A and B are shown apart, each in its own frame.
Chain A
Amino acid sequence: MPENTTAPTRAMRLGVAGPVGTGKSSLIATLCQALSGELRLGVITNDIYTDEDARFLKSAGVLDPERIRPVETGACPHTAIRDDVTANLLAAEDLEADFGPLDLVIIESGGDNLTATFSPALVDAQLFVLDVAGGGDVVRKGGPGIARADLLVINKTDLGPYVGVDVERMAREGREARRGSPVVALSRHDAASIRVLTSWVRDTLTHYRTGEHTPVDPGPMAPHFHADQDGEGSHPHTHDDGTDHARYQAAANAGQSA
């Protein structure tokens, strides 16, 4: 059997980001419940003020409490998943050292805002969680997580009728914002939607193991507008690597001064 030197030697790290109250902890509990029979799991939580998320997950009884570790974030949850990932990396290393080998380490971000996403220095893949109760328009507000996380989850779809949100439309607008990248409309009361989510996790893990999965940084920058130098009106856009911005801006400025 040929030796595959590119195959990763550690568990895949899956980030779960999204604003406060969208159901990140509940989603992780759902994942643990669905996958703990087939995958060796660990969970790291990043709370802002408490270890509430870790306690919720431990009390949910979906995973050995020892496999759930809270990390303090010094009141800066976005720093802990992007600018300085040290505490989370050490916690992931410790989980694998204590229970390894593991297949999947799920890292929950502290609920922050629409701009907070994981650095690829910490996670191999990430999903971004919105919920219908936050309003159908949130998906149109955009941001790096909504546009470019590996998966966008629109959670609590069962609440749609109660909060006046057209779930189908929200999911469709999510796909448009992501230019076709995957979106899952999820409810923990809808077994079919959970199967879609777990299939995505399994597929991503398979690709991670074969070296076909490339971590993508959703980037810290939200989609934004420039005055259009061609006079065709402004349009929102994003930059894959940030290098086009200065050139584009310079062109726009030149157009304005001409």
Chain B
Amino acid sequence: MSTSSLLLTLLGDARLPSGGHAQSAGLEPALRAGTTAAQVPAYLRARLRTVIRVEAGTAVVARAVAAGGGDLGEVEAAWAARTPSQALRANGRRLGRGYLRVLQTLWPGPFDARAGTWSRPVVLGLLAHRAAMAPADVARLVGYDDVQSVTAALLKLEPQDPLVIAAWVKDLLPDIDEMAAQVAPLHTPEQIPAHGAPLIERWAETHDTTTERLFSA
């Protein structure tokens, strides 16, 4: 099974109106807590090994469960159990509503009444099923979107040469592919990885109550 590369481009494009432009993927609070711009590639690798592995694994499993006619509510519960920060869960569900709007318009069809409460990876899994995306590709999409969210936010928070940042993204592409290959075979909620990143989770909680901020998360 292969996904249209143009479909993947469409979904990974920052111009897709899914609400992502106000996301820093945790970078804004990370910088406030003392992370330096030079550490951002390491920050991204840490995310790809932890919270993003959970997100991508959830999306892959949601796609498999949707394809089998199973209950996506169970996938949502498994994601929530692996996302201890209340702020990250709330943000993930806001993003899910954004992607639901994309899904409803681009791939219309009947929806579970609970879909409006599902997180981004669960909605993306449903989208991947409707759009006939390969499992590894929805995982790659999750990883790529996260890397681009962080680096685009860095240009607003600590402006520098955008091409230097683009080179960081390019250098991270193999890491994204590796992460995606590892979660692609997953099928059931209990297989979703349960890696934690306590600092990222704590920073997300702090950011949730910060009043002067550029990004919602």
Contacts and interface: CB of A to CB of B under 8 A. Distances in A.
A196 B4 CA distance: 56
B153 A85 contact: no
Contacts of B214: 48-49, 72-75
Contacts of A74: 21-24, 153, 156, 214-216
Contacts of B216: 71-72, 74, 87
A49 B28 CA distance: 12
Interface residues of B, number: 21
B153 to A, nearest CB: 7
Contacts of A80: 21-22
A240 interface: no
A86 B15 contact: no
A45 to B, nearest CB: 12
B196 interface: no
A79 B22 CA distance: 10
Interface residues of A, number: 20
A75 B98 contact: no
A84 B17 contact: yes
Contacts of B213: 50, 72
Contacts of A89: 101
A87 B21 CA distance: 9
Given A74-B153, A74-B156, A90-B97, A84 B212 contact: no
Contact of A51 (B23, B98, B211): B211
Contacts of B94: 87, 90
Interface in B158-212: 211-212
A86 B215 contact: no
Interface string A82-115: 0111110110000000000000000000000000
5 contacts: A50-B212, A86-B19, A87-B19, A87-B98, A90-B98
Interface of B: 15, 17-24, 94, 97-98, 101, 153, 156, 211-216
